[in-house]
Amino acid sequence: MKKIITLSCLCLCSIFWAYGQPTNFTTSDYWKHQRKEVFFGVGATNFLGDLGGLNRIGTDYSPMDLEWLVTRPSGHIGYRYRFRPWFLTKSILQYGILKGDDALTQEPARHYRNLLVRTHLIEFSQHLEFIVYNNEHFGKRYKIHGLKGMRNKNTLIYLFSGISVFAYIPQGSGDGGWTNLRPLHTEGQGLPGGPNQYKLINYGIPFGLGCKIGLDALWRLSFELSYTKTFTDYLDDVSSVYYDNDAINAAYGSTAAYFADPSSGEFSNWTDPGQMRGDSKQKDAYFFFNASIIRNITYKRSKKLKFQYRARY
């Protein structure tokens, strides 16, 4: 009798093990079951430029100079392809609003400058991702009453970098709402001794890290933080020195003159021609924090097997 009971228990354990055995993506070729993914989501943006910042002189390249009150929303869609167990490539299209406001800092020179700028930015990026931690396997294929510890595991932590191409439109705030700043030549672009006009399409180098959390074999959530160093200093339309405001007024009109120097005039010598308006030695940078919903479009559930299994129990 004891032998029969023991044999029966062994058989039952074998059945449970067979149906609940996890399938590791990172061994053999099982990772190919999640090779293709599409995703979309929302997020937030912030940037390091010449405007706003903390109540002191800006710190080059430092996230400690971020002004959190100007954080703005963003949205994105993308596609990810996993060509090796530990390497992936990702294409992502995202839109965000960047904002800088001198009124939020008590640093005297920047506060007196009194510029308020928002920038619409649309970016296409190609990333290469490297997985530094993973815990991936299918759990039990079917729901067996009382069977525990065999749930789906789809957790990844990864680093990424790549290249970004973006278009942007900086705008200034005035009595009539928001005005596009580039056509106003606020630093004397096109005038004698003035800088060259900047382009509205540029590129950058993104760096970041992310985490993906599996909901089941098909769906995941991800959270990413990226920092993009650009090759332009005009995301906020501010870069170098003040130009002669009377010359800007004569060439481009009173609106251009106002956005070139909206200060109160209390310390007029602070905005004389040649005085510092921005720091042209440091290029702008921006941040994206994204939350995404991910759909695995490679792996498909088998409803037929599910029906067959349930018919047996």
Residue 179 resides in a domain: yes
Q: Please tell me the predicted confidence (pLDDT) of residue 17.
A: 40
Residue 112 resides in a domain: yes
Residue 205 resides in a domain: yes
Return the CATH number at 88.
2.40.160.20
Residue 109 resides in a domain: yes
Residue 239 belongs to what domain range? 21-312
Q: Please tell me the predicted confidence (pLDDT) of residue 271.
A: 94
Q: Count up the domains in the chain and report the number.
A: 1
Q: Please tell me the predicted confidence (pLDDT) of residue 29.
A: 62
Residue 211 resides in a domain: yes
Q: Please tell me the predicted confidence (pLDDT) of residue 67.
A: 83
Kindly write down the DSSP assignment for every residue of the chain, as one continuous string.
-HHHHHHHHHHHHHHHHHHH--EETTSTTGGGGG-EEEEEEEEEEEEESSS--SSSSPPTT-GGG--GGG-EEEEEEEEEEEEETTEEEEEEEEEEEEEEEGGG---HHHHHH--EEEEEEEEEEEEEEEEEEEEEEE--SS--TT--S---EEEEEEEEEEEEEEEEEEEEEETTEEEESGGG-TT-TTSTTPPPPPPSEEEEEEEEEEEEEESSSSEEEEEEEEEEEES-S-TTS--SB---HHHHHHHH-HHHHHHH--S-STTGGGGSTTSBSS-TTS--EEEEEEEEEEEESS----HHHHHHHHHH-
Residue 79 resides in a domain: yes
Residue 188 resides in a domain: yes
Give the residues of the chain that fall short of pLDDT 70: 1-30, 55-64, 137-153, 300-313
The pTM of this model reads 0.81
Residue 265 resides in a domain: yes
